[in-house]
Chain A
């Protein structure tokens, strides 16, 4: 079928506020949105007659639903169309999807979203689109019902729908959606919000839906960015400076140019130290007729580097700097009651320091991007989490107006926050502009490990004051870290702390005397958002420290948590995932995982169970982990029980996959993963020294539980991860008496037991 859309000329666009109906070239009914939001302003010039986000009923009663969000393995190409299909009332098996490109429309004030906000970050796809996409489906259904009622000369309230059909019982009539397509397309789009179903009558939402793309994936047909192939396309790689903020002094490309297939070699200028990153590093680009020729050309380059301003940076010095900072006074970012007074009169004070390293995102698909920059515009095809950022990046390096930059999103081989930043897109555009031809830029794995916006690293100092009942009366967290807002434009110095310490996190609002303090560590390591950002660090620190307090006071770690989490009530939560946080929902999960793992049973020596729980971006999770520790410190993860409360469940299979995957990501990262710096260079380079977890390290005894709550969903992309690491280290302590206070765990157990 032709992909060209032919909009019914007879449709009076002026009467439409937002939706546009029309006929496709193939005779299907199409409903689209030229601009976002029922409640938002829709400037007339945004309605350029272009149908954007769409639902299409085809003549064979098959349904095509546009997916505006980027797919990075979080399951939006399955969950988003479920929301539309539920209210449209069609058979799920009749649904197929199409990935929408970036949709932005130039307005008097800048740019507006054409299909609604597009991006994969902060676990927001399901929450942000929960109402909106159901309204899309309900509106299309409403028009089909109206078309049928007109045909049967009755009123819409005499009609009902069954999947794919409109039915009028009193007249004994039924008509397929497809047969109503032309009539529906000619109707005005109804004003106002349509009625939505009660949750009790959902047929698709809440049911297990398998991965939409699974068949394409298992047959090798799924298209990722790396698979892009266009006529006349060149292949490029870049040798980036291995020194943080280093530059090219000179290079000799005479051997590189002798490599068959190498077409061009030139420098790429990176940002100056301290400036915002458009790309990450200076380097030398090699353009060739194949990927391998470009890679071989790169190997043949001779380059002299200026080692830049961070040539003396080393990881041990980073930790010394953090310790020096903690000896002083930092920025107090939250203070409740009087910590000092309370700690001064306390019966007992417990304190501990924890270290969290830099880590690499390491998506399985290394960064890549197709770019074709012309005089009048550009085509970009990329695996990206932020297509609007890609458009901005290309505009910045080409000078082209954003409305002339087309950005297509492919499926992405993972994201984990790495593809929130579009530096690789900017690089591809720079190369295409320079050579005047379409190009696919390919990063190697080594490029991907050595050049990243790493998860921030920090040293946390915790202190708790206890009264004579062992109750926590005062609590402080002091963090010295290299934060992720480093070099981000338009962030004030006093706001740098915000993505490192979420000040309404537990135990805020529960411990009356509380102080949270931040110190900025200087480092040349680029930093960014890594799945569940600071929650990964803070859950490890806070949930480890709770167990340390329990141990110091002879209390049970589970009972202590249940008491602190308290009754079922909402606490205010001002950061992402708010506006409220109900710690009791963590208790519900903890009790569940504790029962499943038989928490109260005594284990033999060398075995132990640990628990932890955390609130992340509106969702709640708990883990129970059982480990054994051998006489020489060999660690075995024997069993994992994970539970999540993500509110209402859209796709149980998707929730389960994210919970499993998040848990395994947490395990992988806690056990082995760390990025270190030596003389201004990242030390790790590939999977031999950045060792992602393999199948053999995941216990067979692994179970996941979903405990639904209420009628609104929370996103699942990140919540599965944070509580795993502290549950694991708490289990290690119970099994061995060794308290892990620095991640990754690595060989610490063997060393502690040897000592």
Chain B
């Protein structure tokens, strides 16, 4: 039995240790915000935070997570549903098209901004390797800059 937290709530999983976190989230915990895209950690559609760092849930074995803190897109907004500044910036810049990759993009952007509160274009290019087949990259870039501004202005 593996015990960890997802979005600040305790969870447990008693299936095979080698099950990727992605499928534990999706099939067992019914949290479908993290998406399956490639299964090899290349596309980033399944990006979640483990211990505060962005990682691809499709390549992370659940057995390695005992005691870990996992944050998914469903846990990013505040308890009253108030959006995280990155989510708000995504709305302000009207980023999504099909939307499938966007939870992963947002989780990656939150991670970037925690490391680089005022990222340059080059920082964004280095960090944001998540794929978007619709081609929303122009607006993703703008939204990250906007989110940096929102975060700088927010009390926390």
A positions within 8 Å CB-CB of B: 71-75, 210-211, 213-224, 226-227, 229, 235, 260-261, 290-292, 296, 362-366, 411-416, 442, 444-446, 653, 657, 660-665, 668, 686-688, 692-696, 698, 700, 702
A690: shortest Cβ distance to chain B, in Å? 10
Closest to A659 in B: B135
Closest to A657 in B: B97
| Interface check B32, CB cutoff 8 A | yes
Closest to A73 in B: B98
Closest to A692 in B: B131
Size bin of chain B's contact surface: 35 or more
Q: How far is the CA of A260 from the CA of B129 in the complex (A)?
A: 35
Residues of A within 8 A of B141 (CB): 695, 700
Residues of B within 8 A of A664 (CB): 135, 137-138
A291: shortest Cβ distance to chain B, in Å? 5
A709: shortest Cβ distance to chain B, in Å? 24
Chain B's interface: helix, strand, loop or mixed, by majority?
loop
- Interface residues in B16-55 by Cβ distance below 8 A to A read 16, 19-20, 23, 26-28, 30-40, 42-43, 45
Contact B43 A413 (CB under 8 A): no
Q: How far is the CA of A296 from the CA of B102 in the complex (A)?
A: 28
Residues of B within 8 A of A412 (CB): 98
| Interface check B151, CB cutoff 8 A | no
Among B34, B72, B133, the residue within 8 A (CB) of A414 is: B133
| Beyond A291-B26, A688-B40, 19 additional pairs, beta carbon < 8 A | A211-B97, A216-B99, A217-B103, A218-B83, A218-B91, A218-B96, A219-B76, A220-B33, A292-B19, A364-B37, A364-B101, A366-B37, A411-B98, A413-B98, A446-B39, A660-B138, A686-B38, A694-B130, A696-B129
Given contacts A222-B99, A226-B36, A653-B94, contact A661 B134 (CB under 8 A): yes
* Interchain Cβ contacts under 8 Å between A and B, 7 examples: A215-B91, A218-B103, A218-B106, A219-B77, A220-B76, A657-B94, A664-B137
B135: shortest Cβ distance to chain A, in Å? 3
Given contacts A445-B37, A695-B140, A702-B138, contact A364 B131 (CB under 8 A): yes
B45: shortest Cβ distance to chain A, in Å? 6
A512: shortest Cβ distance to chain B, in Å? 39
Q: How far is the CA of A593 from the CA of B94 in the complex (A)?
A: 24
| Interface check B148, CB cutoff 8 A | no
Residues of B within 8 A of A235 (CB): 27
Residues of A within 8 A of B125 (CB): 695-696
A621: shortest Cβ distance to chain B, in Å? 14
Contact A363 B139 (CB under 8 A): no
Residues of A within 8 A of B77 (CB): 219
Residues of B within 8 A of A442 (CB): 36
Residues of B within 8 A of A416 (CB): 133
Q: How far is the CA of A694 from the CA of B140 in the complex (A)?
A: 11
Smallest CB-CB A-B distances: 6 pairs? A220-B33, A73-B98, A413-B100, A664-B135, A220-B73, A217-B99
- Interface residues in B94-114 by Cβ distance below 8 A to A read 94-103, 106
A417: shortest Cβ distance to chain B, in Å? 12
Contact B135 A663 (CB under 8 A): yes
Q: How far is the CA of A71 from the CA of B128 in the complex (A)?
A: 26
| Interface check B136, CB cutoff 8 A | yes
Residues of A within 8 A of B45 (CB): 364
Q: How far is the CA of A696 from the CA of B119 in the complex (A)?
A: 14
B6: shortest Cβ distance to chain A, in Å? 12
Among B15, B102, B126, B135, the residue within 8 A (CB) of A290 is: B15
Closest to A445 in B: B38
Residues of B within 8 A of A260 (CB): 15-16
Q: How far is the CA of A220 from the CA of B25 in the complex (A)?
A: 13
Residues of B within 8 A of A222 (CB): 99
Q: How far is the CA of A692 from the CA of B129 in the complex (A)?
A: 11
Q: How far is the CA of A637 from the CA of B134 in the complex (A)?
A: 19
Chain A's interface: helix, strand, loop or mixed, by majority?
loop
Q: How far is the CA of A58 from the CA of B25 in the complex (A)?
A: 37
Contact B34 A220 (CB under 8 A): yes
Name the residue among A235, A662, A698 with the largest chain B CB count within 10 angstroms.
Answer: A698
Contact A688 B42 (CB under 8 A): yes
Residues of B within 8 A of A211 (CB): 94, 96-97, 99
Contact A292 B23 (CB under 8 A): yes
Residues of B within 8 A of A213 (CB): 96, 99
Residues of A within 8 A of B33 (CB): 219-221
Given contacts A364-B37, A695-B124, contact A73 B137 (CB under 8 A): no
A327: shortest Cβ distance to chain B, in Å? 39
Among B83, B102, B136, the residue within 8 A (CB) of A661 is: B136
Q: How far is the CA of A746 from the CA of B92 in the complex (A)?
A: 36
Q: How far is the CA of A338 from the CA of B27 in the complex (A)?
A: 65
| Interface check B57, CB cutoff 8 A | no
Given contacts A219-B77, A416-B133, contact A291 B38 (CB under 8 A): no
Given contacts A694-B129, A696-B125, contact A444 B39 (CB under 8 A): yes
Closest to A442 in B: B36
Residues of B within 8 A of A221 (CB): 33, 74
Contact B32 A220 (CB under 8 A): yes
| Interface check B70, CB cutoff 8 A | no
Residues of A within 8 A of B106 (CB): 218
Given contacts A364-B101, A657-B136, A692-B133, contact A229 B72 (CB under 8 A): no
Q: How far is the CA of A363 from the CA of B37 in the complex (A)?
A: 9
Name the residue among A412, A668, A700 with the largest chain B CB count within 10 angstroms.
Answer: A700
Contact A696 B74 (CB under 8 A): no
Closest to B87 in A: A218
Given contacts A226-B36, A290-B27, contact A362 B135 (CB under 8 A): no
Q: How far is the CA of A223 from the CA of B76 in the complex (A)?
A: 18
B36: shortest Cβ distance to chain A, in Å? 6
Among B23, B73, B128, B134, the residue within 8 A (CB) of A219 is: B73
B78: shortest Cβ distance to chain A, in Å? 11
| Interface check B121, CB cutoff 8 A | yes
B136: shortest Cβ distance to chain A, in Å? 7
Residues of B within 8 A of A364 (CB): 35, 37, 43, 45, 98, 100-101, 131-134
Contact B35 A226 (CB under 8 A): yes
Q: How far is the CA of A364 from the CA of B45 in the complex (A)?
A: 8
Residues of A within 8 A of B32 (CB): 220, 223, 226-227, 229
Among B72, B133, B140, the residue within 8 A (CB) of A220 is: B72
Q: How far is the CA of A227 from the CA of B101 in the complex (A)?
A: 14
Q: How far is the CA of A214 from the CA of B106 in the complex (A)?
A: 13
Contact B137 A695 (CB under 8 A): yes
A643: shortest Cβ distance to chain B, in Å? 15
Residues of A within 8 A of B37 (CB): 364-366, 445
Given contacts A220-B72, A411-B98, A414-B98, contact A660 B139 (CB under 8 A): yes
Residues of B within 8 A of A365 (CB): 35, 37, 98, 100
Residues of A within 8 A of B96 (CB): 211, 213-214, 217-218
Q: How far is the CA of A395 from the CA of B37 in the complex (A)?
A: 30
Given contacts A290-B27, A662-B135, contact A217 B94 (CB under 8 A): no
Residues of A within 8 A of B76 (CB): 219-220
Residues of A within 8 A of B140 (CB): 695
Contact B23 A210 (CB under 8 A): no
Q: How far is the CA of A687 from the CA of B126 in the complex (A)?
A: 18
Residues of A within 8 A of B94 (CB): 210-211, 214, 653, 657
Residues of A within 8 A of B43 (CB): 364, 445, 687
A369: shortest Cβ distance to chain B, in Å? 14
